[in-house]
Structure 1
Amino acid sequence: MSGHGSPTLTVDGSGLRVAVVAASWHEPVMDGLLDGARRALADSGVEQSLTLRVPGTFELPVAASRLAGAGFDAVVALGVVVRGGTPHFEYVCQAATSGLTDVAVRTGVPVGFGVLTCDDDKQALDRAGLPGSHEDKGYEATVAAISTALTLRDVRLPETSSPVGAP
């Protein structure tokens, strides 16, 4: 099981603003991921949250970028891509992973990665946090984003009296 060895995180996200952006494809899986994210927000004491839906996993990075620039302390991206008979799987997985990583690094806003990349529907359902699932990746991605936001909240970059490169 891929969740073996995962950390147990308990976080107090009260006072944080967290956005969840979720794809719409594979509705049963997405419903489970969203429910997990909502439980994590509630368990963490986050009272200010927004949920935004986009058509698919490919659209997650642009939505996450807009949300990260809108003053949210963390963004959670939820999606699922199930392998098919064409290279589409690899293209979408790579674009979503690279795009979401770029958003986090470029903006400094943590992005919880709740994108399932599965070989079949059974694997996706097993990670969706549904009754009978072995993992709850929506919950895990949300707690990870909140935990990272809390860790970074007190990190201050050194202030300079002049822009970088100025004499």
Structure 2
Amino acid sequence: MQLIERSGWVLLGLLLLGGCGREVDRSFCASHGGKHWQHREQQAQLLIDYAEDGDMGVQLILPGELAAVSLANPGDILALPEHCESGALLRESEAGMQVLRFDARCGDVLPESLSVPLLGKRLEIQELEVSMSTPAVRKYFVVHQDCERAIFNIDGDSHGE
């Protein structure tokens, strides 16, 4: 499991099955951030927007062949703490992509941790681009099945600039 601190939050559970038992090419992980933009349109994207009032918007974008991945409920994408309530998983197809969205309400209690079971269950998703926003901070990184840690030094921003 990976531990990522983020301004009072801790994001736990970016479980990387690929990092366990496989030999990791550290040079790939060290250099991939500068090359990610070249293929980012083919990779899954997870967008998490957490508002000060406890509302959370979550969106998963699955492009191309990944659009066929079957996810049944919000918990397949993001495991929320017990005190959070999630809405229904909404699905849309846009320009060859599957877009899955849901909202969650966590109230006044900030989640101490979130986990992403999606990576542990879906081996066809080798790389996940993550953008997380709170009123205080924004984090943007890539998680790759072959890397032990998240890759933070990504050229460009979440809009590919």
Larger Rg: 1
> Greater strand share, 1 or 2?
2
TM, length-normalised to structure 2: 0.32
TM-score normalised by L of structure 1: 0.31
Q: Which has the higher helix share?
A: 1
